[in-house]
Each structure stands twice: as structure tokens, then as C-alpha cells.
Amino acid sequence: MAAVAAPSHSEGEHSRGVEDGEVAFAALEGSPAPTTADGSVDPKTLIFREASLAEKHLCWARNSGSWSAPLKSITDYIGRETLNGSQTMTRNGKIRYWVLVDPKASGHVYAAVETLQKEVMVKTKAGGYTEEIGHGIASVFTDPVIRKRGIATVLMQKLGEWLDREGGGRFSALYSDIGKVWYAQRGWRTFPSQQMQINFEAATGSVPADAPAEGEGSGATPLYLEDMEALCERDTEVLRHSIRDEPLADGVDARFSFAPSFAQASWHFATVEYIARIHLGKDQIPRVKGAHAGNCWMYWTHDFRERELNVLRIVTLGGLRDGDSSEAGISEALALIMARAVAEAKQWALHGVIVWAPSEQLVAVTKSLPGVQVTVGERTEGSIPCLRWKGCDIEGKNVDWEANEKFAWC
């Protein structure tokens, strides 16, 4: 799954979530477990409701083959998912787990999905500026033995009905791993999904201790967890003013963005720290969360499955010196933080750096760095952003999705 100011995540908070998950999982042993689905059922007769604890664990066990790596045990994966549901962005009912079940066959789970409440900022021609609740949609999963029978279609239809009634908010987003067509046909319109991939000669040997890199990238200041809350608040405030105060361009019906909050960012950080602790060892946890140079900064996460550094967000408010908003000044600052990202990836023996929605300026700056190969293209298979407007009232509307970067992914 995915993915949110808020109190920072301490290791104690992380550990409590894992321990709770392990206790709950252990409690299921020896008790009747939900069974797999019956392929003969009519999908239109299935009921959409919130999952029980046993059903959540069954779904996690079944989808672990798709999403658990690099974790190797179901127990560790359930611990990760339990942790994901216990963070500031998700606790107190802000993440909900849904299943599609047969009311006549107790325990048969046919499909599942998760919804996460998120803060969104919207400006429309018709209604002006609002800040409201939106939803991230994650972990859409159908039992493999009954796929291609219309069950996932029923799941998304019933999810849409819930979003339009009890869910609240007008917008929901998901990130498709099955191309552009399927979700678009069910009301979640696809949006452009450019990304920049930076490759280099990979470092060799074991993963080193997590300390600021020497030499390459050392002109930028490393960011740690304790630095992030103030920066996220500043970023959110600037983005708020931009969406609210700048007039909509001709032909644009709405401007929309998820808020780049500290709760959102720290949800990502907590997941990576949990995976690193188990996958690499308790002393090998990435402490550096990003880089800062002047009035530009970025933050990232380490993907130990794909062996990539994922840049979650890049903020460009000026150059190295206050008051310098020149293109040259901003390029100078961007070069420093991008070099620091490359150094971070090498330090953790990762194979590349991924940036979503890069600006032309950022691409040009990155191509000027020594020893890197840069490719830019549109994602057509994985993590394609898709947006739904309440009642599927989005077709024919021109919506600007601002800050369509990976911090909002779930």
C-alpha cells in the first residue's frame, strides 16, 4: 500500500504499531479464518462493507505476493501494513479497509480496497477556493482465482457510491499499475505522469553507515526528520497561496492539489524505516530525509525493492541567497540538491534516482551533473495518477493537478 503539523514519528510509535500487528496476527492462529472466494457468485449480489480484523489479515496475506517485497515473511508484511494504519495521517479512522463479500457465505472475501483521508486544496470557477477532505485509494485487490469476472468493477462502483454519499469530499485519487484505460472507464481519469530517471555507476560493497556524504553533493545541507515539519508547513502555505490567489487560466475549470503536509511525508518515512530495520538490520536506517540549499529543498525515500531513491517533493522558492529568484540562482541551488540526491542513492547502493513531474529547468540542471545518465518519459504502466470528481463529474473538465509528485502517492 501506500501512504501523512503533526507530532514527529518516534521509534517508539513505530514499534507500537508493529507489536500491535504481531499480537493481532498471533491471535488469529487457531481461530477460524475467512475462506477464499467462490467463483460461481454473481458479482452484483456482493456486499461492500468495512473489513473485520481477520478479513484485513486475510487480504494482506493474499496480496503479499504483489506488495510485500523486500520483506520476506507475511508476519513482517502485516506488521508494515499495521504500522501504515497507525500513523498521524491514518490513525483514528482516517484509513478504512473495505471488502466485497457474499452475504450468504460468511468469510468469503472476493476483493478489497483501502481509503485514506487526505487534505486537499481546490479552486474552481464555480465555487472559488476551498480546503477539504479528499481520499487516496490504495491496495485494490481481487482474489486471483476469480479475476476477469466483473468483481473488481463492482468493487470500484460500490466504492464510488460510498465516496459520493458517506465518504465526504469531492476528490479521490489512485495510482494505477494496470495502465490508463481500466480505471478511466470506471470514473478515475488519468493525468500526465512524466518522470525523470537518473542512473549512474552503482556503488559496490555493503551499505555504509548513514552519514552525510563527503565530496559529491556536499554543498547541500542534509535534512533530518526534525527539520521536516517546519519545511512542510512553509511549503503547504506557499502552495495554498498559489492555488487560492492566482487566477485560473482561460479554459481551466479547476486547480487541485493534495497538501504536502508533514503528516503525509512522515507516513512515507515511517514505512521506509520499518522496511530498512528488518531488511538491512536495526543499525541501517536512513536518517537523511532530503537536502536543502538556499531556498530550494527536496525530500525522498529509499525504495529497497526497486533499488531506487524516490524524490517525494521538490520545492523551489528561490536561489541560494535570499531575494535571488533568478533562473541562474535557482539552477545553482537545484544542482546542489540533485547532486546530494545522487550521492545519497550511491551511499545506499541504489541504482538510480526517480523524480515525478520534473520541470524543464530541473531536467536541464540534472543533465549537467557529472557521471549521470538522464532519461525523461511518461509512465504508462505503473503509478499512473488518476483523479475522480464527485459523481464522476470530471470528463470534459480541464483540471490542473498542481504538485502532482510522489509525496501524494499511496
For residue 385, the surrounding DSSP H or E stretch is: strand 384-389
Mean pLDDT in residue range 52-64: 94
Minimal CA–CA distance to 403: which of 247, 232, 224? 232
The single-letter DSSP state of residue 126 is: T
Q: What is the mean pLDDT of residues 346-353?
A: 96
Q: Please tell me which residue, 7 or 279, carries the higher pLDDT value.
A: 279
How many helices (H) and strands (E) the chain has is answered by 9, 16
Res 368 pLDDT > 90: yes
- Higher model confidence: residue 2 or residue 345? 345
The pLDDT of residue 28: 39
Mean pLDDT computed over every residue of the chain: 87
Instruction: Note whether 357 and 376 are within 8 A (CB).
Output: no
pLDDT of 296 strictly over 50: yes
Q: What is the pLDDT of residue 380?
A: 87
| pLDDT computed for residue 308 by the predictor | 97
Residue identified by cell 470530471 is 394
* Three-state SS at 112: strand
Residue 218, pLDDT score: 63
